[in-house]
Structure 1
Amino acid sequence: MKRRVAPVRVEAAVHPVVVLAATAVAAGILTWFAAGRSKPLTRATEGRRFSPRGRAVTASAAQRLNHASTMLAASVLFDSGLEHYRGQFFNRAMYTPIVMSSITLASSLHGAGDTDPGSSRVRHGVQALAGLTGLIGFGFHTYNVGKREGGYSFQNLFYSAPIGAPMALTLAGVLGVVAERVRDADPDEPRLGGLPAGRSLAVATAGMLAGTTLEAGLLHFRGAFQNPAMFVPVTLPPLAAVLLVRAATKPEGANQAGAKWGMWAVSAMGVGGVAFHAYGVARMMGGWANWRQNLIDGPPLPAPPSFSGVALGGLAALELIERSRIRF
């Protein structure tokens, strides 16, 4: 009697993170192609004829807004990936921001290369969905903090889900939506919600800087501001926000050099913040030799560029203000 041998099963062990990364990349590529090819600047929008200079101004501002959305989406992609990997994706919803930020990143990159003054329905829809996803994530994080023992105490705000982090995806979506609205606006008098586009965007961007500062301030307060450089993200952005609001209230033709320098300073701070966070990782036990642990437990490397993204939105607002022919 022959002995029966159980069939041999060959299974390919694929890490879940690899599957997630592949899904995110595939979603981004599909979004890119769904948005269509970039169109030349010489085409008119829906039969309307505007001056080339007017079209160039709104297209340039829209592209700058897409650059801002791109930087914010990239920051969310890598930051949420690290943070949710640390949480072992115990909730299925934790996969959402990674896929959504990948789609938003692809959409924003596509818009950044599109010089046509007309908007894209696909990009507009993707960016709006990103904004909504960020708001839902904010609700999840708020609930996560509140359900812990002690409620909304500093202890829980410090060590549970970062309450303000999902709003970065909302900001990416908002700036992306504004980019599409600016593309479709009257180049001679671009407006958002019935208000002058540049001035209303400047005030909104100032609010974004204030919110991002609160999130950075909470985490740096947790770190006891042990490095004096940790005071920069809680002092420079509010000053730049004040300059933006002041720029929105200045009379037509006024010099906006101060606000521009403020935005460029915040943008540089965001990029430089990555280097400071990398230094923080190096100071942890094992340094970069123990990168698998220290990248997760140390200062978040992808977080500071969110300031740069918001600052680029401020520069787009200033560009629209300088070329505006009407007052707020």
Structure 2
Amino acid sequence: MSRAVERDVLAGAGLALSVLAAAAVLAPKAGSSRIRSQRIAALPRSGPQPRTAVRAARRLNGAAGMLAASVLADSSVEHYRGSFKNRAMYTPLVVSALTLATSLHGTSDMRPLAHRLRDGCYLLAAATGLLGTGFHFYNVTKKVGGFSWQNLFYGAPLGAPMAILLSGLLGFCSERVRETARSPRPEMFGLPAARTIAAVTGAGLLGTSGEAGLLHFRGAFHNPFMAVPVTLPPIGAALLFNAAARGQGRAHPFTRAWMWLLTAMGLAGVGFHAYGVSRNMGGWRNWSQNVLNGPPLPAPPSFTGLALAGLAALGLMREHRDA
């Protein structure tokens, strides 16, 4: 068996194992439904209705899933292009697939209870993002010239692993919102949940916009639309920081509208990148080469995932004045 075929088989096996692992982890066990029902019935009935917190938690699960899907597709393409030279390059594929399955499970879960296994999967995703960032920094610095513009442009992208970190972080936040559904206010480690998530999402938008700015600078901003992901998201981040600072009892309609704009921007970015692929020699007829060498198709939806997280935070802020 050739090395290329072996690599493809290993990649497929890794994805299949991640799906099987997700099914094994998330499958309901016998008698667990009755136990959980008893736990829900035993919860105190004081405080706000859990519907608000559960709805926000499910939205955050969806945002984490969008980021995980983006990472799964992007890392599959980029690491395949790198020929999986290091076996660790399979890790983000497996972890992002598991995180995506976990997020789908959380999105469908209507119960006002945190899920320990989902917590574990999200923490694994966050740890993978931190370790991946370290690996990418090492990849850049070990090249001739070290930390230079040339290596930043063409080495391992420094900001890419942060997407799976953000996915795990937002998913972990969703579980914290769930477990405070019956509390006087949704909290995370003693902090108001909605305002904390808004601040985290704003920081994520800044980092993602910085990564897009570096790669679009490499492309010399030859298309005016390439300036959009380096201008709109920082404004959205500033709006979220403002909401986090002045969140109590406010609806923030302009910030919500801006998050919807960023959601659409992320989806439209896939179309622009597809157009960029078509402009390479051979266009889509030579897709097997141009998808690898053209602008990354799965990258823009990361903005959509973060914008959805911002909408979840703003929705919780609007529905619960103390969040």
TM, length-normalised to structure 2: 0.92
What is the distance in 2 between the residues matched to 1:251 and 1:207?
17
Cα 1:32/1:181, change in 2 over 3 Å: farther
Q: 2:59·2:309 contact (CA, 8 Å) conserved in 1?
A: yes
Per the TM alignment, residue 243 of structure 1 is displaced from its structure 2 partner at its CA by 1.1
Which amino acid is the alignment partner of residue 16 of structure 2? V
Q: 2:14·2:90 contact (CA, 8 Å) conserved in 1?
A: no
Q: 2:270 aligns with which of 271, 274, 277?
A: 274
Which amino acid is the alignment partner of residue 237 of structure 2? A
What is the distance in 2 between the residues matched to 1:229 and 1:310?
20
Q: 1:65·1:175 contact (CA, 8 Å) conserved in 2?
A: yes
Number of the residue aligned with 1:310: 306
Number of the residue aligned with 1:258: 254
What is the distance in 1 between the residues matched to 2:70 and 2:204?
15
Per the TM alignment, residue 250 of structure 1 is displaced from its structure 2 partner at its CA by 2.6
Q: 1:90 aligns with which of 85, 91, 98?
A: 85
Query: Alpha-carbon deviations, 1:228-285, whole Å to 9, x = none?
Result: 0000000000111111111222363323111111111111101100000000000000
Identity across matched positions, percent: 52
What is the distance in 2 between the residues matched to 1:178 and 1:217?
28
Show the 5 A alignment for 1:197-212: 197-212=193-208
What is the distance in 1 between the residues matched to 2:181 and 2:175?
12
What is the distance in 2 between the residues matched to 1:16 and 1:147?
25
Show the 5 A alignment for 1:119-268: 119-187=114-182, 188-250=184-246, 252-268=248-264
Cα 1:241/1:42, change in 2 over 3 Å: farther
What is the distance in 1 between the residues matched to 2:322 and 2:263?
28
Number of the residue aligned with 1:77: 72
With 23-32 and 104-113 compared, the bigger mean Cα shift is at 23-32
Report how many aligned residue pairs link the two structures: 317
Q: 2:48·2:181 contact (CA, 8 Å) conserved in 1?
A: no
Query: Alpha-carbon deviations, 1:14-50, whole Å to 9, x = none?
Result: 5532442233133223323422349699875372134
Q: Which has the higher helix share?
A: 2
Which amino acid is the alignment partner of residue 300 of structure 2? P
Q: Secondary structure at the match of 1:45?
A: helix
Structure 2 runs not aligned, ≥5 long: none
With 176-185 and 21-30 compared, the bigger mean Cα shift is at 21-30
Per the TM alignment, residue 62 of structure 1 is displaced from its structure 2 partner at its CA by 0.7
Q: Does 1:30 align with 2:26?
A: no
Q: Secondary structure at the match of 1:254?
A: coil
What is the distance in 2 between the residues matched to 1:217 and 1:50?
49
Q: 2:250·2:317 contact (CA, 8 Å) conserved in 1?
A: no
Q: 2:43 aligns with which of 45, 48, 52?
A: 48
Q: 1:25·1:102 contact (CA, 8 Å) conserved in 2?
A: no
What is the distance in 2 between the residues matched to 1:293 and 1:322?
47
Which amino acid is the alignment partner of residue 316 of structure 2? L
Q: Secondary structure at the match of 1:104?
A: helix
Cα 1:50/1:278, change in 2 over 3 Å: farther
Q: 1:24·1:99 contact (CA, 8 Å) conserved in 2?
A: yes
Number of the residue aligned with 1:20: 11
Q: 1:39·1:114 contact (CA, 8 Å) conserved in 2?
A: no
With 242-251 and 274-283 compared, the bigger mean Cα shift is at 242-251
TM, length-normalised to structure 1: 0.91
Cα 1:305/1:39, change in 2 over 3 Å: farther
Which amino acid is the alignment partner of residue 206 of structure 2? A
Q: 1:135·1:166 contact (CA, 8 Å) conserved in 2?
A: yes
